Amino acid sequence: MSSESATDLRPALTRLSDDETAFRDAVAGFATDEVKPRVQEMERAGRIDPALVEQYFAMGLMGIEVPEQYGGAAGSLMMVALAVEEVSKVDGAAAIMLDVQNTLVNYPINRYGSETLKAKYLSRLTRDTIGAYALSEPSSGSDAFALSTRAEQRADTWVLTGRKMWITNGAEAGIYVVFANTDPSLGYKGITAFIVEREMRGFSVGKKEDKLGIRASSTTELILDGVEVPRDNVLGPVGQGYKIAIETLNEGRIGIGAQMIGVAQGALAAATAYVKERHQFGKALAEFQGIQFQLAQARTETEAARLMVYNAARLKDAGEDIALEGAMAKLFASQVAERVTSISLELFGGYGYTKDYPAEKFYRDAKIGTIYEGTSNMQLQTIAKSMLR
């Protein structure tokens, strides 16, 4: 698909191309027909239904931006955002698997991988293998570049030793983009990216976290106990891992923004339908002006966040640097999701606090948006630095 130039971005904000509209509608139908009926069971089981994952691959949703020669759809980041948004309207957990696959795994391999690596791994990631992105560690969260995982070169291999934490898709993945330091004396300039396979000796998946929200999405520890990684599995130049990580997270924040606006829209739609049906004092809740104003404010903020996410995606597809726009979109979308899901839950009254209605799940799923792929404070720092430099 062709990218729009930077000068065309503003008029593009309020419309989608015919291809994008058809794609969005197809994903929306899939989310309603296939994802929604599985939500509660996946929530209880704490895992994504494998049959649903198979459908993700069959529909091409696990390789949206990947070139056709590697089995992908040759689409755009905008299309990734649309897919994540639509699935998030029914389940943020099911959506984050798509997001991580496309923005944090496929993207850096396609952007920085050799032809050999792209042919070997992207073909699997678009066909049948889930991926994960491993940067965070027990002692390096927001300060991601204080990581302690080490990579030591030995002949034709690199030996990785350390632990990773908070790894989305960790339980299901077969391919991991892992960051380790090849020379601690160089600080962040020693950080290097590697492609690690689950079957490599010394690699194992550790504890799976028991989380507040997005419970069907796995979040795990990874244990690297002298994992021998072939020299050719270095992703990008040695010592350039910090650059790859930052650029990848910039793209990933668009996906999180899309997830949050989807969650907000799902919660708002449920609350809007409920207040039309629920009667108090002889009339529907929707007839009370106080209720109407709450819904109007929530809709306005959600639409503003949506346009910020779309704008950042358009800019990225046009080849622009989106460090600032991505940070603002992710920050605002996650803040809006918190507010809108909270209001939506309250509009359900006591019922909203029970698992009989979807409001409480949307509320729990929204909180993670202010934490992962850079906390809100880290986004504010990025925005401030851009303003003051």
Is 202's pLDDT higher than 80? yes
Confidence at residue 271, expressed as pLDDT on a 0 to 100 scale: 98
209 is a catalytic site residue = no
Express as a percent the part of the chain with pLDDT over 90.
93
In this predicted model, what pLDDT tens digit does every residue of 48-101 receive, in sequence order? 999 999 999 999 999 999 999 999 999 999 999 999 999 999 999 999 999 999
pTM for the model stands at: 0.95
Is 7's pLDDT higher than 50? no
- What type of residue is 250? N
Domain that holds residue 350: 242-388
Domain of residue 348, CATH code:
1.20.140.10
Q: Assign 227 a pLDDT band (cuts: 50, 70, 90).
A: very high
CA-to-CA distance for 350 and 336, rounded, in angstroms?
A: 23
Which residues, in sequence order, are CB contacts of 79 under 8 Å at separation 6+? 1, 20, 23, 64, 65, 73
Picking from 224, 262, 314, 319, the residue whose alpha carbon sits closest to that of residue 84 is 262
In this predicted model, what pLDDT tens digit does every residue of 266-316 receive, in sequence order? 999 999 999 999 999 999 999 999 999 999 999 999 999 999 999 999 999
How many domains is the chain partitioned into structurally? 3
Is 153's pLDDT higher than 60? yes
Residue tagged active-site, from 85, 137, 301, 373 = 373
Mean pLDDT of the region 331-355: 98
Confidence at residue 17, expressed as pLDDT on a 0 to 100 scale: 87
Domain co-membership, 146 together with 189: yes
| Domain membership flag for residue 1 | no
- Tell me, what DSSP letter sits at residue 86? H
Q: What is the 3-state secondary structure (H, E, C) of 303-336?
A: HHHHHHHHHHHHHHHCCCCCHHHHHHHHHHHHHH
| Domain membership flag for residue 295 | yes
Which of residues 239, 258, 283 is at a domain's end?
Answer: 239
Picking from 229, 210, 227, 231, the residue whose alpha carbon sits closest to that of residue 219 is 210
Domain of residue 226, CATH code:
2.40.110.10
Which of residues 130, 145, 178 is at a domain's end?
Answer: 130
Domain co-membership, 278 together with 364: yes
Average pLDDT of the chain, as a whole number: 95
Q: Assign 15 a pLDDT band (cuts: 50, 70, 90).
A: low
| Domain membership flag for residue 94 | yes
